[in-house]
Chain A
């Protein structure tokens, strides 16, 4: 049962254009969402996050939008740069009881920015 889904395994975008990466989730208890970027042979790098009480968070070229009613979030990168080419993971946290939290990742979307 995949609670965090990234349905596009890959995405190609022209340099300078907008990249939109999508993520859907099924667990309504998720209260915090994160995006990570991963280059080959490196660990994931935290990019941006959003609390479930917000619908938008912006950090430079990166903006995350959250639509709770649709259980959908998206990461916008504007403008896209070749250095943005990486695998992007969506992740979400939920309280799982007894003072414990869970962090669940999607399978990732490979973004290729074409110069």
Chain B
């Protein structure tokens, strides 16, 4: 039973560029949440997708957008990258909305130069 998978593992982008990160949830899960974890900080909630719609959103600008596909996989898009967007981006999946019993992927390390 595959857990949560994320791609790519690492990514280097330049300021102003756009990036897309991908996440496949754990088998049987229908909800995907995205988090940003800066160095030395705890994860910060970006948004949560359920039934292909954004259901919850944290305090992140509109440059951060997402999508959920019919197979429950998800993408996180960040436009107009800033140096401060450099972080580990974590995806978590769960069954149903909310934050109970989330399973996290290993993350995508994004570096913006």
Contacts and interface: CB of A to CB of B under 8 A. Distances in A.
A104 B103 CA distance: 16
A9 to B, nearest CB: 9
Contacts of A114: none
A105 B42 contact: yes
B95 to A, nearest CB: 13
Given A32-B99, A32-B100, A43-B90, A107 B106 contact: no
Interface residues of B, number: 26
Interface in A2-47: 4, 6, 32, 34, 36, 41-46
A46 B107 CA distance: 15
A43 B100 contact: no
19 contacts: A41-B106, A42-B106, A43-B92, A43-B104, A43-B106, A44-B90, A46-B103, A89-B42, A89-B43, A91-B99, A93-B98, A102-B45, A102-B56, A102-B58, A105-B42, A105-B43, A105-B44, A107-B40, A107-B42
Interface of A: 4, 6, 32, 34, 36, 41-46, 49, 89, 91, 93, 96, 99-108
A-B complex: 8 closest residue pairs judged by Cβ atoms: A43-B104, A105-B42, A103-B99, A103-B45, A100-B56, A44-B104, A105-B43, A107-B42
